[in-house]
Structure 1
């Protein structure tokens, strides 16, 4: 029986910004695989390459070298190998940004529903699912509020609901709990863990938030653009205490 390929696979990926003497190597020789059902944390000091790595997996940034595979398909190998990157991002990737990036002219529920209607879901069904997701994230009572009237934490939870709306197999999050208190941070991480387990999704989270370290299956530490350590989160949680 053939093993299921990783949902995310990077092979010797590098990324350089600029040229010549001004060139900055943001990533060097990064090899990483994340299976379906796995929740992986990415940690490291500022400038270590965490967000660059996330943006390469999301097909927002091109690598300078190496190979990127998603769901076993080669997506980048010297150039992008898929015909429609927008469709790939829409169908396969849910991205939770550090800033919520909600559309200011749509209510919370319609921000979440829009992601589904763009993928072909009928509006009543999309709005019903959007309300259910907002309820799960403890922000359902603010479903009809406009983004300008949401607190920072509420807006971030709406953006998380939007990222989960189309049940993507790959979920990428850049500091998703930074604006949340301890209780709501755990709610968010428990939901991401549930999504990973029930849908066999691969979840990668950039974080400095020690209070959620125990929610990860693995913690990957980066420094100077290289993977310094890749280990189960338990050891790092104990070390942080």
Structure 2
């Protein structure tokens, strides 16, 4: 366990959909803390609440009960305490998905730069940050290529660059290696571990990919909306 500061603090979080006989309890009284530098996996069968929990942490879904604190700021306590959730996500959270979700009409570097534009960075500062990230992720030689011309590994690294562009301290990944072979999956996870350590960020990953389990500091299992360390 890392001794870094707590970046994700979820207390008593519940989430249900529907009411009465059709009610589904997706999360039940979940407590979770993740610290800076830590890389954590969320495991469990389909319907166990993994993606729901990721969406609650990512301020995409409002909990039905509980409290969510991100990077020292309580953002939900019976209601949203931040009204501009888009700004909150831009400032604090990076998302990585199973598929890269790059905009097909933009080049690799433009896909990364668009996040910085939305965050209000100057063009000059944004361009420097894009170059820094693409160099760091060893994909700068493909900066002018559009997604259709990138390999799967290259596209995923560009997607990681986009997720990291605004220096978020919380990175949420939903099956980021599912479409990759064992070698590329290992490289992606090694990279995420390096980023967590060097940038004092935390990473929470939903995965079924057993070949990367040894890359995590903790494996956390969800069953029927309840959470327990494994």
Partner residue in 2 for 1:55: 55
Deviation at 1:135, TM superposition (A): 4.1
Partner residue in 1 for 2:19: 19
Q: Which 5+ residue runs of structure 1 have no aligned equivalent? A: 232-241
Q: Which 5+ residue runs of structure 2 have no aligned equivalent? A: none
Deviation at 1:136, TM superposition (A): 3.8
Partner residue in 2 for 1:36: 36
TM-score (norm 1): 0.87
Deviation at 1:32, TM superposition (A): 0.4
User: Is the alpha carbon distance of 1:82 and 1:5 closer, same or farther for their aligned partners in structure 2, counting shifts above 3 Å?
Assistant: farther
Partner residue in 2 for 1:230: 229
Give the match's secondary structure for 1:177. Answer: coil
Give the ranges of 4+ consecutive aligned residues of structure 1 lying more than 4 Å apart after TM superposition: none
User: Is the alpha carbon distance of 1:116 and 1:35 closer, same or farther for their aligned partners in structure 2, counting shifts above 3 Å?
Assistant: same
Q: CA RMSD in A?
A: 1.9
Deviation at 1:164, TM superposition (A): 1.0
Deviation at 1:152, TM superposition (A): 4.1
CA distance in 1, matches of 2:156, 2:169: 21
Moved more, 49-58 or 19-28: 19-28
User: Is the alpha carbon distance of 1:127 and 1:58 closer, same or farther for their aligned partners in structure 2, counting shifts above 3 Å?
Assistant: same
Deviation at 1:189, TM superposition (A): 1.2
Q: Deviation digits for residues 159-214 of structure 1, max 9, x if unmatched?
A: 11100111111000001111112222122111211121112111101111112111
CA distance in 1, matches of 2:195, 2:50: 22
User: Is the alpha carbon distance of 1:134 and 1:179 closer, same or farther for their aligned partners in structure 2, counting shifts above 3 Å?
Assistant: farther
TM-score (norm 2): 0.91
Is the CA contact (8 Å cut-off) linking 1:110 and 1:127 kept in structure 2?
no
